[in-house]
Amino acid sequence: MTDSSTPPRIVVQALQPAWQAGAEQWAQRLGLELGEGEGDADFALQLGEHGLQLLQLGPDSPGPVRVDFLEGATAHRRQFGGGSGQMIAKAVGVQSGVRPQVLDATAGLGRDAFVLATLGCEMQLIERQAIIAALLEDGLRRAAGDFEVGTIVARMRLRQGNAIELMRAWAGDAPQVIYLDPMFPHRDKSALVKKEMRLFRPLVGDDMDAPALLEAALKLASHRVVVKRPRKAPIIEGQKPSYSLEGKSSRYDIYPLKSLKG
The predicted-structure confidence for 65-119, as pLDDT tens digits, reads as follows 999 999 866 665 666 555 778 899 999 999 989 999 999 999 999 999 999 999 9
Tally Cβ neighbours within 10 Å of residue 9.
17
When mean pLDDT is compared across 2-11, 37-46, 147-156, 198-207, the lowest value belongs to 198-207
Strands 102-104 and 123-127: parallel
H helices present in 161-190, as ranges: 163-168
157-203 pLDDT, tens digit per residue, is: 999 999 999 999 999 899 999 999 987 554 444 544 566 666 776 67
Give dist(CA 228, CA 135) in Å, integer. Answer: 22
Q: Flag whether 128 is marked binding.
A: yes
pLDDT at 196: 67
Q: Flag whether 68 is marked binding.
A: no
Q: Are 54 and 67 in contact (CB under 8 A)?
A: no
Cite the residue boundaries of each domain of the chain with CATH code 3.40.1630. Answer: 10-56
Cite the residue boundaries of each domain of the chain with CATH code 3.40.50.150. Answer: 72-256
CB contact set of 48 (below 8 Å; sequence gap of 6+): 14, 15, 16, 19
pLDDT at 3: 46
Query: Is the domain defined by 10-56 classed in CATH 3.40.1630?
Result: yes
**SS3 (DSSP) at 233:** coil
Tally Cβ neighbours within 10 Å of residue 132.
23
Q: Which of 262, 190, 178 is nearest to 228 (CA)?
A: 178
Which band of pLDDT confidence, cut at 50, 70 and 90, is reported for residue 132?
very high
Length of the chain: 262
221-258 pLDDT, tens digit per residue, is: 999 999 999 989 999 999 999 999 998 889 999 999 99
Q: Flag whether 142 is marked binding.
A: no
Give dist(CA 149, CA 140) in Å, integer. Answer: 10
Give, for 160, the enclosing helix (H) or strand (E).
Answer: strand 156-160
Q: Quick one: fold of 72-256?
A: Rossmann fold (3.40.50)
223: left (phi over 0), alpha (psi -120 to 50) or beta: alpha
Give dist(CA 250, CA 247) in Å, integer. Answer: 5
